């Protein structure tokens, strides 16, 4: 169920505390971008310089099977070409900021109303690389 968008506490609870993120807002049937996320016209991206993204979400479940190499290649290609790729919400939610079982992996969203006039319309997974040993110990199996 979508939060009451007029109530900042409800929005914070839904997006951050419950781990639904921006993707959860979109999946809840949201019809319009909440006002808290709308950039002023002078801060918006110039659409005339943009190009469409035809990158489908990458199904990480294939990492455990015969298509492991293809999934790894798709992740590498997306990271090199676009700088990001999409991950299933269930996988991300395990690593919510503040409850992540790993000190090197956090899932979050650009929700910092105390620091920003307009909130970022994004979710992210931050994975810190220190060395191979730590990555093997702390990163999700799908990312090793």
d(CA 73, CA 104): 23
User: What is the mean predicted confidence (pLDDT) over 46-53?
Assistant: 76
d(CA 107, CA 89): 10
What pTM did the predictor assign? 0.58
Distance (Å) of CA 105 to CA 97, 98, 127, 138 = 8, 10, 5, 8
Distance (Å) of CA 26 to CA 3, 29, 81, 102, 110 = 11, 6, 25, 27, 15
Average pLDDT, the chain: 81
Q: How confident is the model at residue 1 (pLDDT cuts 50, 70, 90)?
A: low
């Amino acid at each position: 169920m979508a939060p009451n968008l007029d109530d900042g506490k409800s929005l914070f609870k839904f997006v951050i505390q419950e781990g639904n993120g921006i993707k959860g807002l979109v999946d809840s049937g949201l019809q319009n971008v909440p006002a808290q996320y709308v950039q002023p016209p002078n801060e918006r991206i110039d659409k005339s310089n943009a190009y469409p993204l035809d990158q489908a979400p990458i199904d990480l479940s294939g990492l455990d099977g015969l298509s492991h190499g293809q999934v790894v290649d798709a992740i590498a290609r997306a990271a090199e070409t676009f700088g990001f790729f999409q991950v299933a919400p269930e996988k991300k939610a395990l690593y919510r900021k503040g409850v992540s079982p790993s000190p090197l992996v956090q899932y979050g969203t650009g929700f910092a109303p105390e620091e920003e006039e307009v909130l970022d319309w994004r979710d992210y997974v931050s994975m810190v690389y220190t060395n191979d040993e730590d990555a093997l110990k702390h990163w999700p199996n799908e990312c090793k």
